[in-house]
């Protein structure tokens, strides 16, 4: 039987002390960023660390400080949607930028089933993270309740009904949907429908509420189709259904840019011209909005700022500081699709 290959021994603080010709206590003070160390000693320790390849043992430090220096990003979405929805990536990058500056590691946890919810809850109970940012929570979401019960500092991106009273950052989806629907009405459209999505979340439900309010007495419930997720496929199928119900439809509000892109494909495949025959608007101002032809009129929401603000709310709680609710601004971006 061939001999087992020995593992490389991890360099220790004693190795650094030997290489630097200094005491273990001096090396420890340098490594921990403490004061009262001469510049010469600090330089010697830093050179020795580079020479022996010393890496600080975070696990041992965490046992002493009872901190993991990690924050969870809990994403409640199907795996397939992670690669289709650019907002999730922007939220992740925004959160990571803030946490990185504060020397925290971002840990992504994806929930795609009830089993995932239980697994993630057990992970949080294990003390492996110091806080959590929760994205795409549903109404009465069990993982949100678990976060509250465990007592982990946490913040929502959005705030669906029936979830715990935790800090959150959001946009005013009702006002934003109202504004872009009014702009669509202003182009002279008479038969306006909506491809609604994610009605079990505040974002989807609120966008529908804003759409309905903007139409007022002109609202026609038969011109609304609903789908569970913000996907291109939902837009494609939803637009086909709206055309079957009302061939003379001339305006559509899609609940997201991905949905709008699918709807635009369905319109073009049916021989309808956008915007001559049907004007269409979306929501997000994501990369989808610039990939369509014509480019999409939409609502710009600051996804990266949502992520960074949520991370700041979590860090504020860890530090014992106030973490008030934050509502960020949106703007209508008008392009050629309507």
pLDDT digits 0-9 by tens, 104-159: 999 999 998 888 888 898 888 888 899 999 998 888 788 888 888 888 999 999 98
Higher pLDDT, 74 or 145: 74
* Distance between start and end Cα atoms, the chain: 73
Contacts of 115 (CB under 8 A, 6+ apart): none
Confidence of residue 51 (pLDDT cuts 50, 70, 90): confident
CB atoms closer than 10 angstroms to residue 217: 4
Confidence of residue 83 (pLDDT cuts 50, 70, 90): confident
Is the pLDDT reported for residue 253 higher than 60?
yes
Whole-number CA gyration radius for the chain: 26
Alpha helices in the chain (DSSP H): 13-20, 24-31, 39-52, 58-65, 79-82, 86-101, 114-125, 142-150, 173-185, 202-215, 232-245, 257-269, 287-291, 303-318
What is d(CA 78, CA 88) in angstroms, rounded to the nearest whole number? Answer: 12
Q: Could you give the angle at which helices 24-31 and 39-52 cross, rounded to 10 degrees?
A: 90
pTM as predicted? 0.80
Residue 163: C-alpha distances to residues 3, 4, 83, 137, 200 (Å)? 56, 53, 26, 8, 12
Q: What angle do CA 35, 41, 47 make, to 5 degrees?
A: 115
Contacts of 19 (CB under 8 A, 6+ apart): 48, 51, 52
Q: Averaged over 310-337, what is the pLDDT?
A: 96
Output the pLDDT for position 323.
92
Candidates 274, 281, 316, 319; CA nearest to 300 is 281
Contacts of 30 (CB under 8 A, 6+ apart): 37, 41, 42, 45, 46
């Amino acid at each position: 039987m061939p001999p087992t290959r020995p593992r490389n021994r991890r360099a220790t603080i004693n190795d650094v002390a030997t290489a630097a010709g200094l005491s273990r206590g001096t090396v420890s003070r340098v490594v921990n960023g403490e004061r009262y160390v001469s510049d010469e000693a600090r330089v010697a320790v830093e050179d020795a660390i580079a020479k022996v390849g010393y890496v600080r043992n975070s696990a041992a430090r965490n046992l002493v400080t009872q901190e993991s220096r990690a924050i969870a990003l809990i994403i409640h979405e199907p795996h397939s949607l992670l690669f289709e929805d650019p907002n999730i990536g922007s939220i992740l990058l925004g959160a990571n930028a803030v946490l990185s500056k504060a020397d925290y590691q971002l840990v992504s946890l994806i929930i795609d089933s009830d089993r995932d919810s239980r697994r993630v809850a057990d992970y949080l109970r294990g003390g492996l993270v110091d806080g959590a940012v929760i994205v795409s929570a549903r109404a009465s979401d069990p993982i949100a309740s678990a976060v509250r019960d465990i007592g982990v500092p946490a913040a929502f991106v959005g705030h669906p009904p029936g979830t715990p009273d935790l800090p959150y950052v959001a946009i005013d989806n009702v006002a934003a949907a109202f504004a872009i629907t009014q702009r669509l009405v202003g182009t002279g459209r008479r038969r306006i429908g909506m491809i609604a999505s994610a009605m079990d979340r505040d974002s989807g439900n609120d966008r529908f509420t804003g759409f309905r309010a903007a139409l007022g007495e002109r609202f026609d419930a038969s011109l609304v189709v609903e789908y569970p997720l913000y996907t291109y496929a939902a837009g494609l199928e939803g637009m086909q259904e709206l055309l079957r119900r009302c061939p003379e439809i001339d305006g559509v509000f899609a609940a997201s840019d991905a949905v709008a892109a699918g709807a635009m494909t369905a319109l073009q495949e049916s021989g309808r011209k956008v915007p001559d025959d049907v004007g269409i608007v979306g929501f997000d101002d994501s990369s989808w909005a610039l990939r369509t032809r014509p480019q999409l009129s939409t609502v710009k929401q600051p996804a990266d700022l949502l992520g960074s603000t949520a991370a700041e709310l979590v860090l504020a709680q860890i530090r014992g500081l106030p973490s008030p609710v934050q509502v960020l601004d949106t703007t209508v971006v008008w392009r050629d699709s309507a």
